[in-house]
Amino acid sequence: MNQGLFITGTDTNIGKTVLSAALMHRYRGEMKVRYWKPVQTGFPEDDDTAVVRTLGECGDAEILDKGVRLPRPLSPHLAAELSGAHIDMHAVSATMREPAGWIVEGAGGVLVPLNETDLMIDLIRLLGMVAVVMTRSALGTINHTLLTLEALRSRRLPIAGVVMGGEPNRENRRAIEKYGCIPVLGELPRFPELDGTVLREWALTELDRHACLRPFLAGDAK
């Protein structure tokens, strides 16, 4: 198992990027953490690495700004096809070499295609990382979250926990924890104005209060 977390979600634009920035704030005081977005579509208009750099208040050494960058805001397999490219997940995975507490952000959900045969979940397996699932708090989230958890577990991929985004919903949280047999590590609100200071305050007080993610980032998980 590689040292770090793979941030995935139940959908695109679910909050994975903000969560990744929050995790940088949460754990940089305890260990060396680095962020990486292996595959980015819609680039450069959509640049999650730049967002994490700003919201996470990251220095250059905390960011790995290399990987597949495709111009059309589409599923990775289609964005690559229309650009005359091919995403080779083995070549992509070779980019991540330096030991660190890696926070790796996926594109879309776990079953998003990368090419003719490989899905995002296959990249998670290849990297050997533990998944953290970002999900919505609103109606429909129970089904979407449980399906994502089932997809990961059916491939015997470890999951560290779930983070919910949006208006807090106590009943949906309880249902996900009960039926998903998984801890909810935080509830990320929609901030009226989001910047690095606001996100840092939330991350240090509300995210992963019991430090469930620390062993995976530190590389000492059993």
Active site residues: 37
SS3 annotation, the chain = CCCEEEEEECCCCCCHHHHHHHHHHHHCCCCCEEEECCEECCCCCCCHHHHHHHHCCCCHHHEECCCEECCCCCCHHHHHHHCCCCCCHHHHHCCCCCCCEEEEECCCCCCCECCCCCEHHHHHHHHCCEEEEEEECCCCHHHHHHHHHHHHHHCCCCEEEEEEECCCCHHHHHHHHHHHCCCEEEEECCCCCCCHHHHHHHHHHHCCCCCCCHHHHHCCCC
* Environment class of 2 (CB within 10 Å of its CB; exposed 0-12, middle 13-18, buried 19+): middle
Strand-pair category, 101-105 with 33-36 = parallel
C-alpha to C-alpha distance for 219 and 201, rounded to whole angstroms: 26
